[in-house]
Amino acid sequence: MNKVNVIEKFAQIDGYWNPAVVGALNGQEVKIVKFKGPFTWHHHDHEDELFYVVKGSFIMELRDKNIELNTGDFLIVPKGVEHRPNAAEEVWVMLFEPASMLNTGNVVNEFTKKTLKHL
C-alpha cells in the first residue's frame, strides 16, 4: 500500500488521449490522461464515467449542450450518453470508471487504446 502523487504521475504520461492506470479498487480504476484537441464522439453502453480536472480546462460536448470544466470540477457522464471531450489547450484529467472500460466506448478508431500503461 503506497500513496500516489497524481501530479508526479502526469509527468510519466505519453502524449494525448492515452490514459494510464494509477489505482484500482472495488472493480473500478483510477486513470489519468492528458487531453488536447477534439476526441471522438462515443458512448459507453454499461459504464458511467467520471472526469475530474486536475489542471486546465476543457469542453465536454454532448449532443444537446456543452459543459465547460475547469480545475477542480468533475462531471459524471452516465452510461449511454454520447460525449466528446474537446480541449483547446492541454488539460490534465483524472478518471474514475470500471476496470478495463474501453476509452472509445462503442467506437473503435485511431483513438482506441486497448492496452493501458500502469503507472
Q: Is 6 in the site for its own copies (CB under 8 A)?
A: yes
Q: Strand 57-62 relative to strand 49-55: parallel, antiparallel, unpaired?
A: unpaired
Radius of gyration of the chain (CA): 13
Give the separation between CA 72 and CA 63, rounded to whole angstroms. 24
Closest to 83 measured CA to CA, from 34, 36, 31, 48? 48
Q: Is 98 in the site for its own copies (CB under 8 A)?
A: yes
Q: Which positions from 56 through 85 interact with its own copies, judged by CB under 8 A?
A: 62, 67-70, 72-78, 81
Q: Which stretch binds its own copies (CB under 8 A): 13-21, 35-43, 48-56, 107-115?
A: 48-56
Shortest separation between residue 116's beta carbon and its own copies, angstroms: 17
Q: Is 119 in the site for its own copies (CB under 8 A)?
A: no
Q: Which positions from 26 through 45 interact with its own copies, judged by CB under 8 A?
A: 26, 28, 30
Closest to 118 measured CA to CA, from 99, 90, 92? 99
From 19, 47, 58, 104, residue interacting with its own copies (rule: CB under 8 A): 47
Q: Is 11 in the site for its own copies (CB under 8 A)?
A: no
Contacts of 17 by beta carbon, 8 Å cutoff, 6+ apart: 33, 34, 35, 39, 103, 111, 113
Residues that bind its own copies (CB under 8 A): 1-7, 23-26, 28, 30, 47-50, 52, 54, 62, 67-70, 72-78, 81, 96-98
